[in-house]
């Protein structure tokens, strides 16, 4: 992560959402995450769970209203057992 990106204004906004991924057979898996802040470059999140998230995977962000938005994991950093900090951006298209 560049210092340039972190220099942008960030707005703290803690809320629970889910990252959703679908396998080749159409089965959905969800991963609870906490969005912690947002800025012009994307979203910061925390994931607590045993299964590591694959930054190369395709995900949708689902909020409490049931709305889904395509999302990409730009970076992931394990900070403790079962805790990952995530950098997310809304997928284009």
pTM score of the predicted model: 0.78
Could you report the average pLDDT of every consecutive run of 10 residues in the chain (93 residues)?
51 84 90 88 91 87 83 92 93 73
Q: What count of other Cβ atoms lies within 10 Å of the Cβ of residue 71?
A: 23
The Cα-based distances of 76 to 35, 44, 66, 67, 88 in angstroms read 14, 10, 25, 24, 9
From the number of C-beta atoms within 10 Å of its C-beta (0-12, 13-18, 19+), residue 52 rates as: exposed
Q: Which helix (H) or strand (E) holds 6?
A: helix 3-6
Q: What is the pLDDT of residue 2?
A: 43
On whether the 3-90 domain is CATH 3.40.50.300, my answer is no
């Amino acid at each position: 992560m560049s210092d340039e990106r972190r220099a942008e204004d960030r707005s703290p906004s803690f809320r629970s959402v889910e990252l959703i991924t679908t396998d080749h057979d159409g089965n959905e898996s969800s991963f609870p995450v906490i969005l912690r802040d947002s800025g012009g470059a994307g979203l910061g999140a925390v994931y607590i769970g045993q299964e590591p998230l694959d930054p190369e995977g395709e995900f949708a962000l689902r909020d409490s209203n049931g709305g889904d938005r395509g999302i990409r994991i730009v970076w992931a950093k394990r900070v403790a057992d079962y805790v990952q900090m995530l950098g997310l951006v809304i997928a284009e298209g």
